[in-house]
Structure 1
């Protein structure tokens, strides 16, 4: 059988031929891809002539095409539709791929050639993108340790391999424990308060595991669960919250405590080897934040006001409940306060959020209105799972833009959360188009039942599609800059901007239609929803900041300090108490043992990125509001200066070009109720 990865796909937009791909194809294609790329790098470094952009940077950018092609498909498969084979292969590959990356990043001859170009970059006849490409490769190789001596490089490679293995173990432990801890409900009366669709989804989830006649509450990635708002049975709420918070912290084969302790220690050791005080200093050195001190200054500025607002919200909840509020009570009574004070019940909005209409008349329609792009479902093209849908995206003039894949529903083989991946990244050098995928985790109702989204799921849908738009619009020359390959503390900015269209009148009035009656959502309801947006911001900001500061706490440890930590729960409690975010009723969005963002998801020392990017987002929303709102002219400007750039330029310079000045923090403070 021929391996479908060994040549570019002949399908439209080079869509991977999922119908032909089998699990046994991944390993040999990856092994061959690594070997080919190392040979390509050797061709560069064995040249005897002096380095030029054409003989060094171009072949470097052309290298690794097979490896990139297979890894993008494999890692999407491993996160969205894993199985025992892919799980084992991912664990096996982690140290090999880390060693492969090191073999390139630490190659002294390659580093010398790039350094020569870097020293002369202002004198060479280069485009701005070419000059920036040299700068990025030089910076990344320097930070990766290319300037270390051979003994140091050897230790660095050992650390990278072990850290990669541990990160993979953390993710697999979390997925397994999340599935094991799903809450089995024997008596449907314990689910009182849920809608028929939600109860149907719980019954379907139980049936899928062979638990006929029962109901199963599967866990989402954050600490809370969307059903906690509606469930009237306090014991059921407590069971769900306890299960969620227990993930990765139980003794046994899925215990993530020793895994994350070793990750923290080894990351700190690696940072010191590279000349940094700690892992956070290493990470932020190549982000827009630049130092962990700047991150801490912002987070610690916001934390007291957020904690104060959360305490005021808690007082209201307890007055309504007539008893102290526990973490599993918060969402339930928060909705009661929202109903009492604003006459808004987010749970009652679900009949207006039918998924298919949200997709076409909401998410897609907003993109058409702002950017002029159009969408056509391609039922002739196959995704990696039967539930995956494929859409062709075209510009206003009819020219091709790319493919968008949507994987909406949760399943046991999919990790928690929601995300966007690039399967094919546009670049002119290799002639690649764009193929992106959004993964969400919406419970799938029984056959014949409509998929009704929660308010938060609609918001997440718009958010993740913002990442997809960033990937689709980025138009670059070199693969290094494709799509969302930007600074991590900038990457959330475009997706957060896209959230604002969720309640924009021209959009919400069209997609928020009752799935049974066809009646649009009443205007007065929307006004009350908008008026109530500040309610709950104390909790939301506090739980987020707790996670962001916890991430920083783990990664501002020196190697000696990290080695001294033995009790994960105690470290976490002390870290949150230190910043005043240790309220038991407001748990951190992610406790350490299930903090996938930081211990396996690439956001290590970078979870601050969401609120860091939100400064830009809130400032941008203000610009849209001041300049006529949802118009094609505004969309074109945002696409030109921000989304279309990809990673091919300094993002803050791009923002200044778009906005006419640096971003200001005041719009964020007002949005979250944190202004003085």
Structure 2
């Protein structure tokens, strides 16, 4: 590191535990110089590897390449963690610049013919190298990544690849920024508080604060969530307000303003199709799924269409019931409202009070952390002396059974205009035995922040999300691999959701619920009948939820099975035709994300991979049965699960590891039963 880089607080070695960045010392103006210096250092390291006169070995080529670029990894861990949960115009501008700079940097390395020749020679003779499984997988991935980046192409085609990848980086970054901007701009203003009937006092107070923050002297502002379905629609009794919120949600990024993303969508899919063809793939879906656990796009489509047929039949029955209950025609804005009315009517006892027993801090300490302690022997000690990147961020030291700190966990739970929608986990520091690096991971949610002194009470969905994202955190925290690129969640995209979905099972497990479910005012434990009713409701998946997810997953694949010869020039028409071809006719249940605000696939890393959630759920449903058969919340079970999955990252074949864990190949039956799609007994 030169003197210029050493003086930059982004690149300075942190003296805080586990390399937690000293966020307070970093200014936004530090980022571009830091990245520039880090890339120069990285290229110098790569030059040394590529020009090495010695014969290529795993150590002097693949391992050396893996362990290079530490300054760049540090800068990326800091900056890209900030852009999602706490962006600003300056950070957006930097992100836009970095999108192409980093892509060009990666292309320079992957297309270096000297480096590729060394990697290719090792790959060709890897059977003779006496590699461990982790080393074999690392070498194979390095080789395949280089090929898929265009290293094996002719010079003219390589130049096309450079241009395409650089342009795609710019477009996808722009897409994400436009979604955040238009989601904020599409918040629904309600002048009369009476029109918010059905919302809780906390939700009404949050809507008033949002209006005040937006400059309104009176009234309330309903902020939009990222998916099409808005949670407030289950509660709002005013049908006109429900329709306004629904219309605002579905119109995002298609309003012809500066945030419109439709042209971006069309250019992104065209460029992805061109890139796939250059690399010898039929389409982008084939290009993506070649690196996943699914065998090919056809197998994914078959699973999704089979599930869709069952879900649509269940949806027809569901609509009949709801129409009878409503005694009127039901529109898209009304479905979840009447689903909630049906759930309440059919429940033996009402679930209205369930959230009163799910206060965030208690759920975290006595629920999420309690389950992790029982299963994995972990303790979480809050560190008020350590500062996150925003005042709302909290930091915990993670202690194992031996009393040793194994990493840091950061929690960022409250929504704000600078935070993109949704919930996610991110690594700030990747675990690596080779680098003596321990993980620093963060969970990000978008809960409504309560007024000072008021509790943050979780709905059933929010409770599940909290446990889900912590499953990702555990995947990062319990990682025990040599190489950072194999750490934690660095697994195939259609496997990455598996550990997080497994962790959802503990949210309402009796041994966990009994620990945290205390009334936020009285401290009384949750009544057994209410706990049972909550579990019964959680195991009854609505057809609506399954249909909207499957529609989005099939829409994703439709966009990415476009070839370089296909001409698509109308986003809405393509979306409508693609959904109809998959059996989703009519507009009653739109996809979970419409194309114009489908950030997973046009702004994130799930292109041709949104199917991953249901693909992983096949493994999850089987694993839940395994846990229950083995006695549930036991340290021995947690140890086996951690050894098979959570600690291994991408150092082993994940499907082989899963088969060894449960003793068989996962089948779809438990998933069908869980989602209420299993065939009725004859």
TM interval, short-chain normalised: over 0.9
Q: Which residue number in structure 2 is paired with residue 574 of structure 1?
A: 577
Of residues 248, 256, 259, the one that matches 2:253 is: 248
Distance 1:544 1:344 in 2: 29
Residue aligned with 1:184, SS: strand
Q: Which residue number in structure 2 is paired with residue 172 of structure 1?
A: 177
Q: Which residue number in structure 2 is paired with residue 29 of structure 1?
A: 34
Q: Does structure 1 conserve the Cα–Cα contact (< 8 Å) formed by 2:262 and 2:596? A: yes
What does the per-residue CA deviation read over 1:117-156, in whole Å, with 9 as the maximum and x for residues that have no partner? 1122222232222222111111222222211111111000
Q: Which residue number in structure 1 is paired with residue 675 of structure 2?
A: 672
Residue aligned with 2:395, SS: strand
Kindly state the Cα deviation for residue 345 of structure 1 after the two structures are TM-superposed.
4.6
Q: Which residue number in structure 2 is paired with residue 394 of structure 1?
A: 399
Instruction: Give the TM-score of the pair, scaled to structure 1.
Output: 0.98
Distance 1:219 1:356 in 2: 25
Of residues 217, 222, 227, the one that matches 2:227 is: 222
Q: Which residue number in structure 2 is paired with residue 614 of structure 1?
A: 617
Q: Which residue number in structure 2 is paired with residue 456 of structure 1?
A: 461
Of residues 319, 342, 346, the one that matches 2:347 is: 342
Distance 2:204 2:170 in 1: 39
Q: Which residue number in structure 2 is paired with residue 194 of structure 1?
A: 199
Q: Does 1:584 align with 2:582?
A: no
Q: Which residue number in structure 2 is paired with residue 259 of structure 1?
A: 264
Of residues 240, 243, 246, the one that matches 1:238 is: 243
Distance 1:331 1:513 in 2: 28
Q: Does structure 2 conserve the Cα–Cα contact (< 8 Å) formed by 1:102 and 1:157? A: yes
Distance 1:409 1:40 in 2: 41
Distance 1:443 1:638 in 2: 33
Q: Does structure 2 conserve the Cα–Cα contact (< 8 Å) formed by 1:471 and 1:483? A: yes
Q: Does structure 1 conserve the Cα–Cα contact (< 8 Å) formed by 2:103 and 2:169? A: yes
In structure 1, runs of 5+ residues without a counterpart are: none
Distance 1:337 1:198 in 2: 22
Q: Which residue number in structure 1 is paired with residue 97 of structure 2?
A: 92
Distance change (3 Å), C-alpha of 1:134 and 1:672: same
Residue aligned with 1:327, SS: coil
Kindly state the Cα deviation for residue 534 of structure 1 after the two structures are TM-superposed.
5.0
Structure 1: 4+ residue segments shifted above 4 A: 344-347
Q: Which residue number in structure 2 is paired with residue 333 of structure 1?
A: 338
Distance 1:450 1:477 in 2: 42
Alignment of 1:394-543 (within 5 A): 394-543=399-548
Kindly state the Cα deviation for residue 519 of structure 1 after the two structures are TM-superposed.
2.0
Q: Which residue number in structure 1 is paired with residue 641 of structure 2?
A: 638
Which stretch of the first structure deviates more once superposed, 653-662 or 422-431?
653-662
Distance 1:89 1:335 in 2: 44
Kindly state the Cα deviation for residue 346 of structure 1 after the two structures are TM-superposed.
4.5
Q: Does structure 2 conserve the Cα–Cα contact (< 8 Å) formed by 1:265 and 1:559? A: yes
Distance change (3 Å), C-alpha of 1:343 and 1:240: farther
Kindly state the Cα deviation for residue 503 of structure 1 after the two structures are TM-superposed.
0.8
Which stretch of the first structure deviates more once superposed, 230-239 or 485-494?
230-239
Distance 1:293 1:344 in 2: 45
Q: Does structure 1 conserve the Cα–Cα contact (< 8 Å) formed by 2:541 and 2:675? A: no
Distance 2:33 2:240 in 1: 51
Kindly state the Cα deviation for residue 212 of structure 1 after the two structures are TM-superposed.
3.5
Distance 1:347 1:42 in 2: 63
Of residues 318, 323, 326, the one that matches 2:323 is: 318
Q: Does structure 2 conserve the Cα–Cα contact (< 8 Å) formed by 1:410 and 1:443? A: yes
Residue aligned with 2:422, SS: coil
Distance 2:9 2:587 in 1: 52
Kindly state the Cα deviation for residue 94 of structure 1 after the two structures are TM-superposed.
1.1
Residue aligned with 1:541, SS: helix
Kindly state the Cα deviation for residue 210 of structure 1 after the two structures are TM-superposed.
2.5
Of residues 284, 289, 294, the one that matches 2:299 is: 294
What does the per-residue CA deviation read over 1:355-376, in whole Å, with 9 as the maximum and x for residues that have no partner? 1111111111111111110000
Distance 1:428 1:212 in 2: 56
Of residues 64, 68, 71, the one that matches 1:59 is: 64
Distance 2:611 2:535 in 1: 26
What does the per-residue CA deviation read over 1:421-479, in whole Å, with 9 as the maximum and x for residues that have no partner? 00000101111111000000001122222111111011000000000000001111111
Alignment of 1:40-55 (within 5 A): 40-55=45-60
What does the per-residue CA deviation read over 1:537-565, in whole Å, with 9 as the maximum and x for residues that have no partner? 3111111000000000000010121xx21
Distance change (3 Å), C-alpha of 1:344 and 1:252: farther
Distance 1:433 1:623 in 2: 30
Residue aligned with 1:96, SS: helix
Which stretch of the first structure deviates more once superposed, 95-104 or 275-284?
95-104
Kindly state the Cα deviation for residue 6 of structure 1 after the two structures are TM-superposed.
2.4
Q: Does structure 2 conserve the Cα–Cα contact (< 8 Å) formed by 1:424 and 1:435? A: yes
Kindly state the Cα deviation for residue 409 of structure 1 after the two structures are TM-superposed.
0.3
Distance change (3 Å), C-alpha of 1:268 and 1:544: same
Distance 1:582 1:10 in 2: 58
How many residue pairs end up in the alignment? Answer: 674
Which stretch of the first structure deviates more once superposed, 157-166 or 340-349?
340-349
Q: Does 1:368 align with 2:392?
A: no
Residue aligned with 1:36, SS: helix
What does the per-residue CA deviation read over 1:557-579, in whole Å, with 9 as the maximum and x for residues that have no partner? 10121xx2111111111111111
Kindly state the Cα deviation for residue 342 of structure 1 after the two structures are TM-superposed.
2.2
Q: Does structure 2 conserve the Cα–Cα contact (< 8 Å) formed by 1:347 and 1:454? A: no
Residue aligned with 2:608, SS: coil
Of residues 145, 153, 158, the one that matches 1:148 is: 153
Q: Does 1:595 align with 2:595?
A: no
Q: Does structure 1 conserve the Cα–Cα contact (< 8 Å) formed by 2:479 and 2:487? A: yes
Q: Does 1:565 align with 2:568?
A: yes
Distance 1:529 1:580 in 2: 33
Kindly state the Cα deviation for residue 205 of structure 1 after the two structures are TM-superposed.
1.8
Kindly state the Cα deviation for residue 521 of structure 1 after the two structures are TM-superposed.
1.8
Distance 1:657 1:37 in 2: 39
Distance 1:583 1:400 in 2: 54
Kindly state the Cα deviation for residue 36 of structure 1 after the two structures are TM-superposed.
1.1
Distance 1:575 1:31 in 2: 43
Distance 1:344 1:500 in 2: 22
Q: Does 1:359 align with 2:369?
A: no
Distance 1:287 1:90 in 2: 28
Q: Does structure 2 conserve the Cα–Cα contact (< 8 Å) formed by 1:197 and 1:452? A: no
Distance 2:480 2:581 in 1: 45
Which stretch of the first structure deviates more once superposed, 49-58 or 263-272?
49-58
Q: Which residue number in structure 2 is paired with residue 657 of structure 1?
A: 660
Distance 1:351 1:201 in 2: 17
